[in-house]
Amino acid sequence: MSPREALHTYFGYDDFRPLQAEIIESVLAGRDTLALMPTGGGKSICFQVPTLVMGHNNPEKRLCIVITPLIALMRDQVANLQARGIHSAAVYTGMSRDKQRVALDNCLYGPYHFLYCSPERLESEEFRKRLAQLPVGLIAVDEAHCISQWGYDFRPSYLNIAAVRALLPGVPVLALTATATPETIEDIQAKLGFEEKNVLRKSFRRENLHYVVRRTDKKEEQLMHILSRVQGSAIVYVRNRKKAQELAQWLTKNYELPITNYQLPITNYKLRITNYELFADYYHAGLTTQERNERQQAWTEGRTRVIVATNAFGMGIDKPDVRVVIHYDLPNSPESYYQEAGRAGRDGKTAYAVLLFDEQEDKARARKRITDTYPPKEFVESVYHKTCDFLQIGAGSGLGHRFALHMDQLCHVMRLPVLQTYSALHILTQAGYIHFEEEHETQPRVQIRVPRQALGEYNLSHEQAELLDKLMRSYSGIYTDLQYVREADDRKTHELLVSLAQRGIITYIPRSVGCSLEMTNEREAEIYLPPAIFEERQARFVSKLKAMMEYAEQGQFCREQLLLAYFGETDAVACGHCDVCLDLAHRVIAE
């Protein structure tokens, strides 16, 4: 089977997009490859097609390990591949040991082609042993910039990939990213242990995407103005969860304000919004997986027009007709801005990336962001010891223990500032002392407290009795300990479990989203934060934030040219349609 045959047979396409064929050819030649493609450039095809070709031609190399940080993306891609008749599996945090074992057995003994996993899974010795037994022909590393400490989204768990390569000798790596500076490009190849440098890149230019900066000290009004002028699906990015919720509610409440302010006929505007069930909704990591999935699906299907979100709403979005992405707050770096803005206009039609900029306010917030993100070393050390005290971890103990961490309680009891404490825990994670997760989701758990023979005394409804009977048959240890129960994901079942818990028949801990902390070392009396973890990363953070500020402030150079030059494309021509280019054109005409 040839790559083109695989493309047509499994995906229904007659030809590859630019650069896809060259990347696939490089992978099939057994070469480590770094592929740089803009958001929406079709990265998945670059590892899916060569895997199917290899599996057809050599069953001993039929499996691709896909390493990606987002569980939602794993689920979506596995579902899409299964729908095409391509056997795929995923292993991620929150799955039971039995489910993980079944998934790995399927990949070993069944006709499976793709195994998705998070980089954190690679830390498990048991998982590594199983991995070494699998018929792996390719390792695909999505969001590869996460492996570089100079990248904008460094994740220490990505550094485990190099060790896994030693378990799979001769297996090539395909690293994929849509955002990498020249320095990050070098670092990715070094950290992944490339045998030789091999970078294939497509220009990051997006000809249909119009970059705009709007200077304003009335961001809410400007936001509504833009949404009234640019019809269609929209994303609004904000920096915190509270703002996401407040802004979505404000938009929904005020979208029928007098439209004369925006110089549009009121009938036209009302007519255009009647197709949506909800004008705006919010999305952030504090929602449960079910809530996030429901909100994203409503937006994807066009039932919600605007999604107001933190950067938790990002990787894995596959909606081609987003007409505008608006940044309400200044992003931390050109990398994050480019990636988030690039979610507009994937269908090739005209779309807009708009940054709302209040020079005085945004500069002040940027200065505070630096101190919040990189608090003094002494504070980080204090957070380490206070957190260990809070969790009752004694000196020389704690290794391998995992804790649910209630941040509100920690900060209240230990008198710690919230934002700086979050940052300190992330710095301690990068230094290797702990593994801190902000978006840890605990699965629903149930324990039955009343003996089976005594249940008849409780006058149960038919639905309650039926549910209890099902739980007793499905979970043998449910009388002696809390059991993870998948049935609780159903809303009606959740309500039944709540009613049973209120009567004291069961103990029910619903699904929740919070933080978790794992001790990756025993508690130490003193900790050391090396310059590479602290001073150097702080300097990089400041540099990237400064570059983003300069992008917003300047009005002389093409916006797209500036972004492309940042990513190493220094020969790009002016786009002709960003706000700066249009302003310059108007000046020339006026003169």
Q: Which of 81, 187, 575, 146 is nearest to 339 (CA)?
A: 146
Bridging pattern class, strands 136-141 and 63-67: parallel
Do both 399 and 282 map to the same domain?
no
Alpha carbon distances (Å) from 108 to 64, 83, 111, 117: 12, 21, 8, 15
Confidence band of 235 (pLDDT split at 50, 70, 90): very high
Confidence band of 273 (pLDDT split at 50, 70, 90): very low
Write down which residue in 336, 365, 394 finishes a domain.
Answer: 365
Residue 591, pLDDT score: 52
| pLDDT at residue 486 is higher than 60 | yes
Higher pLDDT, 312 or 269: 312
Which residue type sits at 548? M
As for how many domains the chain has, the answer is 4
Q: Please indicate, yes or no, if residue 195 is contained in any of the structural domains.
A: yes
Rounded (10°) angle between helices 559-566 and 334-341: 120
Do both 431 and 344 map to the same domain?
no
Confidence band of 267 (pLDDT split at 50, 70, 90): very low
In this predicted model, what pLDDT tens digit does every residue of 278-297 receive, in sequence order?
999 999 988 877 788 889 98
Do both 173 and 234 map to the same domain?
no
Cα of first residue to Cα of last residue in the chain, in angstroms, is 62
Buried-state track 432-456, b at ≥16 Cβ within 10 A, e below 16 = ebbbbbbbbbbbbbbbbebeeeebe
**Mean pLDDT value of segment 567-590:** 85
Q: Please indicate, yes or no, if residue 542 is contained in any of the structural domains.
A: no
Q: Please indicate, yes or no, if residue 164 is contained in any of the structural domains.
A: yes
The CA distance from 159 to 520, in Å, is 15
Alpha carbon distances (Å) from 525 to 396, 538, 541: 8, 25, 29
Among the residues of 144-280, which ranges form H helices?
A: 161-167, 182-191, 219-229, 241-254, 266-273
CATH assignment at residue 426: 1.10.10.10
Range of the domain at 472: 445-510
**Mean pLDDT value of segment 217-221:** 94
Q: Please indicate, yes or no, if residue 425 is contained in any of the structural domains.
A: yes
Residue 93, pLDDT score: 65
| pLDDT at residue 88 is higher than 90 | yes
DSSP 181: -
The CA distance from 6 to 22, in Å, is 15
Sheet with 114-117, strands from edge to edge, namely 88-91, 114-117, 63-67, 136-141, 173-177, 33-36, 199-201
Residue 180, pLDDT score: 86
